[in-house]
Copies of this chain bind each other. A is one copy, B any other.
């Protein structure tokens, strides 16, 4: 998901993509880009040079998936603070219930 979001800003070469997805290992990024290419979500262009220059870009299908993923990210950003507050309320209520059931 993160690779798709990073490529939405434009094509990137492998190492630039790796820097943009901080924390991902070389091996994990290689596996990920191969899967995304296999699914037709990204394309891989090879420039004949020594060593060959490889550039990754979103396909139209990749861009359409990015639009849906971006909505999920926006939903999360909009709701996360309220979710955190609800979690605190839920945990407080659960602790109160526990105290009632097992008074110290």
Give residues 35-80 of A contacting B (CB, 8 Å): 37-40, 61, 64-65, 68-69, 71-72, 75, 79
Q: Which residues of B contact A65 (CB under 8 A)?
A: 75, 79
Interface code A75-104, partner B: CB below 8 Å = 1, 0 otherwise? 100010011001100110000000000000
Q: Chain A contact residues (Cβ within 8 angstroms of B): what range?
A: 10 to 19
Closest CB in chain B relative to A73 CB, distance in Å: 10
- Residues of B within 8 Å of A91, CB to CB, are 38
A residues near B, CB below 8 A? 37-40, 61, 64-65, 68-69, 71-72, 75, 79, 82-83, 86-87, 90-91
Please list 11 pairs of residues, one from A and one from B, whose beta carbons are closer than 8 Å in the complex, sorted by A's number: A37-B90, A38-B86, A38-B90, A39-B83, A39-B87, A40-B82, A40-B86, A61-B82, A65-B75, A65-B79, A68-B75
